[in-house]
Amino acid sequence: MTERIDSALGERTDAELLAAHAAGEPNAFATLIYRHHEHLWLTARRTSYTPEDASDALQEALLSAHRTAGSFRADAAVRSWLHKIVVNACLDRIRRNKVRPSVPLSENESHEPASPRDRISETETTILVRQALMTLPPDQRAAVVIVDMEGYSVADAAVLLGVPTGTVKSRCARGRLKLSTQLAYLKDAGNRI
């Protein structure tokens, strides 16, 4: 019977699952989070300084979403609502910490470059770009991550961040300028950044 319930839950839309959770249906929230966990984790990881902070912020965000599911208004997609909660949890954690810890070395990347030399170069570039990204103020970093790394439109990013589109544009522009200044030496060395 559990398999049939889980199968039935898996066929529901995100909004239906969230409504079912708010109505007290067991496993509805877990099914919803299972669908979006990878995206939410990547969002938290890109917005936070360390994997540990990302993990903590994601946990806080999921608890918040679990508690406030009944207040969800269907004027946005559930995935966007969850994304916004995760970004806000990351930014709250950054504000609370006010300390910029060192950035850990690269995690294993999913695609393999052609040669070990290319792999080392790509890993070094990834580390340098991540370090530069972490020097941006949290609001600029969030805008750059959402628009440039995750591919959201400026309008969608504005909804996710809860700010006007002009604010997203200016944060992205300032962030990109700082990144291009900090990473100019990589471009001069023939790297693609």
The answer on 155 and 170 residing in a single domain is: yes
CA-to-CA distance for 151 and 45, rounded, in angstroms?
Answer: 16
**pLDDT tens per residue across span 169-191:** 999 999 999 998 888 887 765 55
First to last CA, the chain: 52
- How would residue 117 be classed by pLDDT, with cut points 50, 70 and 90? low
Q: How many separate helices (H) and strands (E) can be counted in the chain?
A: 10, 0
The answer on 86 and 1 residing in a single domain is: yes
- pLDDT at residue 5 greater than cutoff 50: no
CA-to-CA distance for 24 and 70, rounded, in angstroms?
Answer: 10
Least confident among 21-25, 37-41, 99-103, 158-162: 99-103
The answer on 150 and 72 residing in a single domain is: no
The answer on 192 and 113 residing in a single domain is: yes
The answer on 157 and 89 residing in a single domain is: no
**What CATH number is given to the structural domain containing 113?**
1.10.10.10
Angle among Cα 65, 20, 89 to the nearest 5 degrees reads 5
Model pLDDT, residue 7: 60
CA torsion 95→97→100→105, rounded to 10°? -110
Q: What are the percentages of helix, strand and coil residues in the chain, rounded to 5?
A: 75, 0, 25
Give the tokens for residue 150. 């995750």
Give me the domain span that covers residue 171: 107-193
The answer on 75 and 154 residing in a single domain is: no
Model pLDDT, residue 137: 93
Of the residues 84, 101, 118, the one at which a domain ends: 101
How many structural domains compose the chain?
2
DSSP annotation of 70 reads: G
The answer on 24 and 90 residing in a single domain is: yes
Find, among 145, 153, 151, the residue nearest to 175 by Cα. 145
Model pLDDT, residue 70: 87
Give the tokens for residue 95. 């504000």
Q: What pTM value is reported for the model?
A: 0.58
